[in-house]
């Protein structure tokens, strides 16, 4: 088997589209690497501006970008690498009002967000629109990565965690800290999974969750399954509409 | 070495971690890393090491930026095609972190000769044998990492631990633990391995965590699988000299 994407696979990438939620720690390597691979259309969704405390890990942004919208800074870097990639900027908060329409315009959603409110919204919107999703999260020295593919028989985020944690129970990056290299690892893996989903090449992490610890340089794999009692993708779903959690979930930005 | 007010803001997410703290951030600032290879893996390693606050970084690569690099190596930019890779990467690193001192070695310079002036070597290209010999001789910790296509491997040598030559060649070959050539890789897979290298360099500087000194870490991007291959000091190794 070819060690790189074949010409047909590259053509498929050029015809495909990805919505990247978050242009921060995880979004940084993902944006570079999707562009490098020649994904035809990349939507960047992030309403934040670059802060100096981002630069220790968010390599998509330069020091002169401080104060600039992250989606604009990200589009400039993508253009520097592959100007033929069409970049769409969505400097908006993802909400129950806009998520379904936005997701319907892309083949794949990659969730590089940093808070539970967004993770649940992304998951639910992916299930309701039938979009596959690459999921990743980071905390201090730990990371998790998997793929959720509605309709494939695999699980969704709510199969693992049916409801969000109580408000204020989870510290943000600002409170807990994060080693700068961590999102580089997790985000790169996420990008690779995204490219495989778009091309159909290889085996993705659908049904497998990778658990990474940077201090131990250890990667563990656990099997994850669809839950028949899942409130959104189970046999008798109870969730049919999107829910905005941020009001009571303490969804703080990075 | 102290941190400025700006640096305290910039590295606040590090400083708040007990494993780093102000002390660890000062260590990163005082550290020097030689990055040999700014292709697929080295590009990712370099961006993250500059962002993390390594004070002095020296860059070397034998090649020029080509259009194919833009599919594989994220430290480059289409406006820098034809430029030596090390010089091209320097622009990206300096833009991310203008506080870092970044030096560039000429493409045809003796990169192995620069090893003793650094605390850590991160090698993804070049003549690993020469680089490794110098690292072992001068007690410089070395991170070896490379990606070929969408698979890659990483290994760390620390003085007193197994060296690259302790690894049986067939074991290194299985994982692809060999320098990157000019064949392009999948940037995302190279990002995984390059960031592993940067992570190990950061841990070496901080003096924390469990390193890839007794194992080779292998990643297969097509299958999303990691594998570890144990490594121990080889009796009679002529490089690190265990009798």
Distance from CA of A192 to the nearest CA of B (A): 5
The pLDDT, as a whole number, for residue A189 is 98
Q: Is B1 on the interface with A (CB under 8 A)?
A: no
Q: How many CB pairs under 8 A join A and B?
A: 201
Task: Please judge whether B221 and A202 are an interchain contact, meaning their C-beta atoms are less than 8 angstroms apart.
Answer: yes
Task: Please judge whether A204 and B79 are an interchain contact, meaning their C-beta atoms are less than 8 angstroms apart.
Answer: no
B238 vs A13, higher pLDDT: A13
Task: Please judge whether A141 and B19 are an interchain contact, meaning their C-beta atoms are less than 8 angstroms apart.
Answer: yes
Burial class (CB in 10 A: 0-12, 13-18, 19+), A2: exposed
The pLDDT, as a whole number, for residue A251 is 40
Give contacts of B77 with chain A, Cβ < 8 Å.
80-81
Mean per-residue pLDDT for A210-238? 97
Q: What is the pLDDT of residues A34-63, one digit of tens each?
A: 999 999 999 999 999 999 999 999 999 999
The pLDDT, as a whole number, for residue A248 is 43
**Count of beta carbons in the 10 Å neighbourhood of residue B228:** 15
End-to-end CA, chain B: 40
Distance from CA of B76 to the nearest CA of A (A): 7
Nearest by CB to B192, from A57, A180, A188: name it.
Answer: A188
Task: Please judge whether B95 and A59 are an interchain contact, meaning their C-beta atoms are less than 8 angstroms apart.
Answer: no
Distance from CA of B107 to the nearest CA of A (A): 23
Q: Cα B44–A251–A149 angle (5° rounding)?
A: 60
Q: With 50 as the cut, is the pLDDT of residue A253 above it?
A: no
Total residues belonging to chain B: 243
Q: How far is A24 from A180, CA to CA, in rounded Å?
A: 11
Mean pLDDT lowest for which of A71-80, A121-130, A133-142, A159-168?
A159-168
Which of B:102-141 have CB within 8 Å of A? none
Q: How far is A74 from A5, CA to CA, in rounded Å?
A: 24
Band of the pLDDT at A167, cuts 50, 70, 90? confident
Nearest by CB to B195, from A34, A185, A208: name it.
Answer: A185
Distance from CA of A104 to the nearest CA of B (A): 25
Q: Which of A144, A184, A202 to mutate to test the interface with B (most CBs of B within 10 A)?
A: A184
The pLDDT, as a whole number, for residue A174 is 65
The pLDDT, as a whole number, for residue A173 is 61
Nearest by CB to A181, from B183, B202, B226: name it.
Answer: B202
Give contacts of A219 with chain B, Cβ < 8 Å.
226
Cβ A133 vs Cβ A109: under 8 Å: yes
Q: With 50 as the cut, is the pLDDT of residue A18 above it?
A: yes
The pLDDT, as a whole number, for residue A1 is 52
The pLDDT, as a whole number, for residue B76 is 98
The pLDDT, as a whole number, for residue A172 is 66
Chain A residue with Cα closest to B191: A188
Q: Is B26 on the interface with A (CB under 8 A)?
A: no
Q: How far is B193 from B133, CA to CA, in rounded Å?
A: 23
Q: A174: closest CA among B16, B102, B204?
A: B16
Band of the pLDDT at A246, cuts 50, 70, 90? low
Q: What is the pLDDT of residues B41-51, one digit of tens each?
A: 999 999 999 99
Nearest by CB to B48, from A175, A180, A191: name it.
Answer: A180
The pLDDT, as a whole number, for residue A250 is 41
Stretches where chain B sits below pLDDT 50 are 243
Q: With 50 as the cut, is the pLDDT of residue A254 above it?
A: no
Please state the ipTM of this predicted complex.
0.97
pTM of the model: 0.97
Cβ B42 vs Cβ A208: under 8 Å: no
Q: What stretches of B105-241 adopt beta strand conformation (E)? A: 120-123, 141-148, 151-157, 215-220, 225-230
């Amino acid at each position: 088997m070819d060690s790189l994407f074949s010409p047909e696979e590259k053509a498929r990438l050029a015809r495909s589209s990805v919505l990247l939620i978050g242009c921060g720690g995880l979004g940084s390597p993902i944006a570079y690497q999707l562009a490098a691979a020649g994904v035809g259309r990349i939507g960047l969704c992030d309403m934040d501006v670059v802060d100096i405390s981002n630069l220790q890990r968010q390599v998509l942004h330069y020091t002169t970008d401080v104060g600039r919208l992250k989606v604009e800074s990200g589009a400039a870097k993508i253009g520097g690498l592959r100007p033929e990639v069409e970049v769409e900027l969505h400097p908006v908060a993802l909400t129950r009002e806009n998520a379904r329409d936005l997701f319907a315009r892309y083949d794949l959603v990659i969730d590089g967000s940093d808070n539970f409110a967004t993770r649940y919204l992304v998951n639910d919107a992916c299930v309701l629109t039938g979009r596959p999703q690459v999921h990743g999260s980071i905390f201090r020295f730990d990371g998790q990565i998997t793929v959720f593919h509605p309709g494939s028989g695999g699980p969704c985020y709510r199969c693992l965690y049916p409801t969000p944690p109580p408000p204020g129970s989870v510290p943000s990056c600002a409170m807990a800290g994060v080693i700068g290299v961590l999102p580089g690892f997790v985000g790169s893996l996420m990008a690779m999974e995204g490219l495989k989903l778009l091309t159909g090449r290889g085996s993705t992490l659908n049904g497998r969750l990778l658990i990474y610890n940077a201090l131990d340089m250890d990667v563990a794999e656990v099997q994850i399954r669809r839950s028949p009692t899942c409130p959104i993708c189970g046999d008798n779903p109870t969730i049919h509409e999107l829910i905005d959690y941020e009001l009571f979930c303490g969804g703080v930005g990075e | 070495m102290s941190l400025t007010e700006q640096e305290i803001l910039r590295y606040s997410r590090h400083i708040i971690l007990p494993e780093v703290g102000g002390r660890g951030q000062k260590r990163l600032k005082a550290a020097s890393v030689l990055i040999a290879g700014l292709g697929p893996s080295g590009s990712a390693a370099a961006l993250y090491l500059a962002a993390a606050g390594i004070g002095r970084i020296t860059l070397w690569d034998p090649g020029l930026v080509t259009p194919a690099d833009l599919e594989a190596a994220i430290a480059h930019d289409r406006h820098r095609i034809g430029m030596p890779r090390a010089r091209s990467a320097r622009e990206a690193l300096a833009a991310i972190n203008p506080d870092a001192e970044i030096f560039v070695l000429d493409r045809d310079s003796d990169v192995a000769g620069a090893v003793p002036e650094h605390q850590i070597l991160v090698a993804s290209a070049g003549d690993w044998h020469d680089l490794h010999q110098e690292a072992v001789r001068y007690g410089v910790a070395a991170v070896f990492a490379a990606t070929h296509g969408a698979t890659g491997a990483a290994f760390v040598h620390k003085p007193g631990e197994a060296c690259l030559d302790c690894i049986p060649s067939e074991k290194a070959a299985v994982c692809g633990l060999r320098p990157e050539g000019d064949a392009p890789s999948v940037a995302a897979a190279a990002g995984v391995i390059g960031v592993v290298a940067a992570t190990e360099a950061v841990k070496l500087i901080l003096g924390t965590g469990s390193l890839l000194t007794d194992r080779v870490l292998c990643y297969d991007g097509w299958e999303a699988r990691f594998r570890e291959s144990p490594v121990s000091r080889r009796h009679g190794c002529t490089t690190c000299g265990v009798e």
